Structure 1
Amino acid sequence: MAVTDDAIAAIRSMIMSGELKPGDRLPPEAQLSERLGLSRNSLREAVKALALLRVLDVRQGDGTFVTSLAPNTLVETLSFVIDLHQDSSIVDLLGVRRILEAEATHMAATRLRPKQIAQLAVLAESVNSQSSVEELVEADMEFHRTINAASGNAYLAATLEGLSGATSRARIWRGVTEDGAIDRTLAEHRAIVSALRMGRADLARSWATVHVSGVEMWVSSQLGKDQI
């Protein structure tokens, strides 16, 4: 495995140095293995690993290319990894989301335009306690997607998109089983919008933390009951 790691590190170095750019085709296997001083087998394993991570795109009969490395690629990779860990690690994922969501909201507070904040307010009012849980979660995801996109950091927004989708099942289950969960979610959305409208980045971050923490705490309390 160490030899394969060396091959991965060598290809990564070529990408990070700019020698290989998004869209570039890797040199032929024989040429690249000779240049790196690695066996062709270890190089093949490295390519397979990097293809799984969406760093490389192997096109049969055409060659191996560096992907666009765009934020949406990060979402696909993150979702793939998360799908392999649908157990108690959901709490850890929610913990990561809580930290990142709060910072993204804080960053967005100084970038959101009045028109965008007005759109968030409309979105926050688009569902109510009579809406289905699925409708609530869909609105919740769009609400945070809009804020995260305004953070100005495409990779942060992409990471949160992956985390949000991965934890949607937990949020649906909470809405179904916990009394008052829907009303609290709606109230927290309104509080975030209010803080953003006032230009209070610190307050918006605090409300975003409270918002995600509610799901995180509920999931933690349910793990021993086999409900997630």
Structure 2
Amino acid sequence: MPQPAKRSRIAIGDTTITYLPDGFGAHNPDVLFPGVDWTTRPGRLQDGQLLLSFGSFLICAGDQRVLVDLAVGKIDVDVPGVAHLEGGALLQNLADEGLSAEDIDTVVYTHLHLDHVGWTSDVAPLPNGSATGSPTGLTFARARHLMSQDEWQYWSTRAAAMGGPDAEAVLKPLDGVVEFVKSGDTIAPGVTVEATPGHTPGHLAIVVRDPSGTRTESAYIVGDIL
């Protein structure tokens, strides 16, 4: 039976990419994929629900530690008719890698949908556009917080509309802190960003290569563009 994704790692030369789980959503498959006959896809559902995992990617490149996306945050909530969402394991999985929030040098967002920004501050945004309290600061306070300028400008005028970031829990804590990157920019040794707009106007992919050039393969962290 399907299970939420577990912590796992790949290496490109001396650079590692580790998936850090945060939680999962048990979704109504007919809402996500209307018209699909799931009887022709045995083993894809668990108790009639489609499981989707939430998490972040930790890139360790040289002495730099980068987190790609900040998952869903510490929530346990029903979205009636759509899904049940649970999160909150990211910091523990980071600790299991021997790291704390203070060890993260850079946070880079592929985009600002709510399941990618949940640990931005110490308050998790909820799917109904509200937050669980008033934030007191950024979770990864020592890190640079990067995204495309198009993404910031788009959501700054729309906030939580259509699954976007909560103004109190995400946008306000980032205001004045966020830095903008453009396609081709290097954010860590061998780590660059690539503009992949479509899913959102400022969506980015993160490209990881061996900075020494010894290994020729590359890895793409593609957010939701698939």
Whether TM exceeds 0.5 here: the answer is no
Structure 2 length-normalised TM:
0.25
Higher RCO by CA contacts (8 Å cutoff, separation 6 or greater):
1
Structure 1 length-normalised TM:
0.25
Q: Which has the higher helix share?
A: 1
Q: Which has the higher strand share?
A: 2
